[in-house]
Structure 1
């Protein structure tokens, strides 16, 4: 996230991995936000550890 200026990437963001594959990171984050009420405490803690926090 530091690479993108400290904020979460937009929904259209696609991460290009060294092995040549792509990960649609923006959509993944949007889905996590949308379903955060269904995540358990361990999943929320793991996302917080990665710097993904939302109010």
Structure 2
């Protein structure tokens, strides 16, 4: 939990970083049909399991 807390606090310090500047500095090739930073989606579902 301490690691997650520290990572979150560090991320908050940079939450206002301009998106366009981030994409430019990463050198990601722009494709206007999709988001340039996220090619994967994470889904968490609570599923009941029978024992």
Q: TM-score, normalised by structure 1?
A: 0.25
Choose between structure 1 and 2 for higher RCO, CA contacts under 8 A separated by at least 6 residues. 1
Structure 1 or 2: more strand by fraction: 1
Give the TM-score, by structure 2 length: 0.26
